[in-house]
Structure 1
Amino acid sequence: RCANWDVWCDAKEAPDFENIANALIPQHGEGDPFWVDSARTIFSSAAYRMSQDNKPCSTARLLSLILTSEIETLGNFLQGTESASLVSKDIKKTAISIKSVLATYIKSLRFLDGLDEKDANGELKRKPFSITDWVLDDKQRGFLFLSSNAQQHASLRPLISTWLAIASNAILGLDPDDDRR
């Protein structure tokens, strides 16, 4: 019941990935912001770098890289980015702590698994969906529902927050129009 959405549907440039990271990984309370800021930086760098490496972008690939790969593998992938020093083998304990913060929030993306399934001809079964494009398209009619059942709501909260942030930013970027839906 979910559209075929992934990070790359709504993020094309580096700031787009940073906005998604900020929505997906919220800053909480009085704690040291280093951990959350570092997690955001690694997520946005990895997703952006993936969009530039001429290999297929997928949520499964991103999650595997960030959550299950060795620190050295992630560090090699992020070489030359602003987050490379955060996953250096020289600060392995710090990198592991940052990855644990990342895991807390980005694991909600695993619920998107399977949305990019292909048919026997190799074609996507579901058309990719961009929240931003949907908001900006004046020809679109209808509503955007962001729902979850009670049992999954806590797990989906970071993802739903991300979708709301994307929609809000797209709406705020619209030109004023008294005739808009």
Structure 2
Amino acid sequence: MAKRQKPSKKNTQYKIEKLIDLAKGELLNHGITNFNYEKVIYDAKLSKSTVYKKFGKKDEFIIFVIKNLLDDFFIPFKKYVDDFNTFQEVLDYLSNLNFDVQSLMKEYPIDDLFEHPEITSVINDYYYQRFGKVITDKIAEFQKAGQIRKDIEAKYILEFLTSVTKGMGMMLKDHDFKEVINNYRKLIETALAYKANSEKE
């Protein structure tokens, strides 16, 4: 009788990668609440014990997957931010944004994330660790060039911009996209643009 072969590490690693890809799709299409952990494990042809040992319970795995999704965006995000040479370019970029938010929110259960504060908190911390530094460095660059006010530390401007972004997301649910973008552009410009007297007040 032939001996049963143990799965190779290479084969298991391939299945783990497949598991993560399947999980990303499951999360984007169904959100956190309806995320089917067992289905993803089954479709990846892995055992529950293998996956639980590596990633833990459902919430722990979801956090890992969301971080992985954020990592996918990090390099293009950094390149995008690095390519801005002036604060005016950022404002112009905001003014020219144009996409169908309502369709996006129907296609992806974005609101679902905010119903899970523990997961949201972990993701928020991860955002500051990875993306926050990129934004803060760009703020400092604009300050050095005299394009935005220097009387406020970059870390506080990061907090302001993060709050503004969250506010935009909330307003976009019920308001016209261009109306929201144009108003928030004015708000950012008024709050941050360098004025000769701003640092003396």
Structures share fold, TM-score greater than 0.5: no
Q: Name the structure where helix makes up a greater proportion of residues.
A: 2
Structure number with bigger Rg: 2
TM-score normalised by structure 2 residue count: 0.29
